[in-house]
Chains A and B, each alone.
Chain A
Amino acid sequence: MRPTFTFRFTLVTTVLSLLACLGCNTPETHVRRSSLMDYLYPKEKAAPTPSPAGARLRLPLRLGVAFVPGGSGSWRVQSLLAPGQEKPLLDVVRQSFKDKPWVSEIKLIPSTYLRPGGGFENMDQVARMYGVDVMALVSVDQIQYTDPKWYSFTYLSIVGAYVLPGDANDTRTLIDAAVYDVTSHTFLLRAPGQSQVKGSSTWTHREVQLREHSQKGLETAMADLAKNLDAEVATFKAEVASGDRKDVDVVDRQGVSLRQGGGRNFGGAFSWLESLATLALLGAALKLRRS
């Protein structure tokens, strides 16, 4: 006996519904990424070589900070953040560096001003527009994993999807800031910032929690980045002073080269000859006092 149309329709509908429900319970991964390499070195062009003369940075610096835009079809930061949320994130970096003596001002540059794949040409345009000497380009790599817990099969009951937190959400964020000298296109330094946010949610609340975690992950990673950037600047300064960075020199407010000035670190000191003289004076004074 051949199955009736009604039977076949019911069977197909049931199987599709079951697959749809099971689909709720499979692991999912969301990747959001903006790449510095895609922005500065678009694939179709050869990478421009930095100026052979190297970078000569004159303190105090005017620093520009911007998120790197994603390529076409990939993630853009502003699409994740509501308008106006990009600035608070960049403000974390600005607050960390506003009192540093080597920086005179920090400009927050909206990522909408940076063209995907714009390269150094686009960076130069924006730097000229904002009048900055160096640019910190911030790229983001955020991955969100959602794994079903063992009891996530209760989602099939519909009520479970609203009540039981059967999704384990894990958001990992890596933010990287690369600092370039605008004039010479010399790479100066880089610093990473990372974070991990974990939580559980019901199936219906999953997207809300992923958005919250994404925002929180970015904020935590930016704070970590600001801390690491401070340490990297100190290392960079030491490398320039010791001559390890031959492609970079830093000139301080008095016009003295950091490389030639041995780092311009100062010490109050007595030479060994002076120390011997003080000891001789001590001996003479004690002898005089006894006599």
Chain B
Amino acid sequence: MNPLALTPDALHEPWRLWTSHGIHFGWEHGLANVVALAVPLLLASRQDRRRLLLALLAGAPVLSLLLLPSLGGAEYRGASGLACLLWALVGLRLAVRGESAPVGLLMLTGLGLKLGLEASFGSCFLLRPDGWQPLPSAHAWGALLGLAMALPPRLFPRLA
């Protein structure tokens, strides 16, 4: 097992709670997730990006702990759960602002469409990787965490 991947060993090897989101099952897997992470970061203003990075740092272990029960003895790698967290967080914060509301709504619609399709098909229907399986619950938990982070206005980034 990869020492950085998320497994039940994370309960006594806590670094796995963070590092599992940074490692992938190949460069294609990693590149697609980097693109998904980059879009909300680019849409946020420069001064808000630091807060978003802090939100990622705080959200990563929570997301990992939420995923642990569904893993069994298997391992998890990938940043898409965190990407969904950012999409929900940035999307909701943009949606409540007058000038950037269309962008925020577009992001939330895209995220909702992805989650809806995954829930309907029970898996990532557009993805057929070798040697591992996509975990739709990572996206659902990530989105829920992002929405939860976006709700209290005092605690979370004020996006431009």
Contacts and interface: CB of A to CB of B under 8 A. Distances in A.
A52 B1 CA distance: 30
Contacts of A284: 106
B113 to A, nearest CB: 9
Interface stretch (A15-23, A171-179, A216-224, A261-269): A261-269
Contacts of B78: 266-269
Interface in B84-130: 100, 102-103, 106-107, 110, 114, 124, 126-127, 129-130
B103 A266 contact: no
Contact of A278 (B8, B25, B110): B110
Interface residues of A, number: 36
Interface string A84-115: 00000000000000010110000000000000
Contacts of A286: 43
Contact size class for B?
35 or more
Interface string A21-34: 00000000000000
A278 B29 CA distance: 15
B121 to A, nearest CB: 12
B145 interface: no
A266 B78 CA distance: 8
A80 interface: no
A267 B73 contact: no
A208 interface: no
Contacts of B73: 59, 101-102, 252-253, 264
Nearest to A254: B72
Contacts of B75: 265-266
Contacts of A269: 29, 32-33, 78, 80, 124, 127, 129, 134
B149 interface: no
Given A99-B12, A266-B133, A273-B126, A281 B107 contact: yes
A261 B126 contact: no
B71 A266 contact: yes
A265 B25 contact: yes
A53 interface: no
A270 interface: yes
Contacts of B76: 265-268
B8 A275 contact: no
Interface string B1-44: 10001011100100000000100110011011101100100110
A266 B35 contact: no
B150 interface: no
A288 interface: yes
Contacts of A159: none
B79 interface: yes
Interface in A246-280: 252-254, 256, 261-275, 277-279
A286 B80 CA distance: 23
B82 to A, nearest CB: 8
A279 B103 contact: no
A267 B8 contact: no
The residue among A265, A268, A281, A285 with the most chain B CB atoms within 10 A of its own CB is: A268
A237 to B, nearest CB: 8
Contact of A268 (B28, B130, B134): B134
B126 A262 contact: no
A267 B74 contact: no
12 contacts: A252-B72, A262-B131, A262-B132, A263-B74, A265-B76, A269-B124, A270-B80, A271-B124, A272-B32, A285-B43, A288-B103, A289-B100
Interface of B: 1, 5, 7-9, 12, 21, 24-25, 28-29, 31-33, 35-36, 39, 42-43, 70-83, 100, 102-103, 106-107, 110, 114, 124, 126-127, 129-135, 138-139, 142
Please give me the 4 A-B residue pairs with the lowest Cβ-Cβ distance, nearest first: A268-B80, A268-B78, A271-B126, A266-B135
Given A266-B132, A282-B39, 12 more contacts: A99-B9, A101-B7, A101-B8, A102-B73, A252-B74, A262-B131, A265-B76, A267-B133, A269-B29, A269-B78, A272-B126, A288-B102
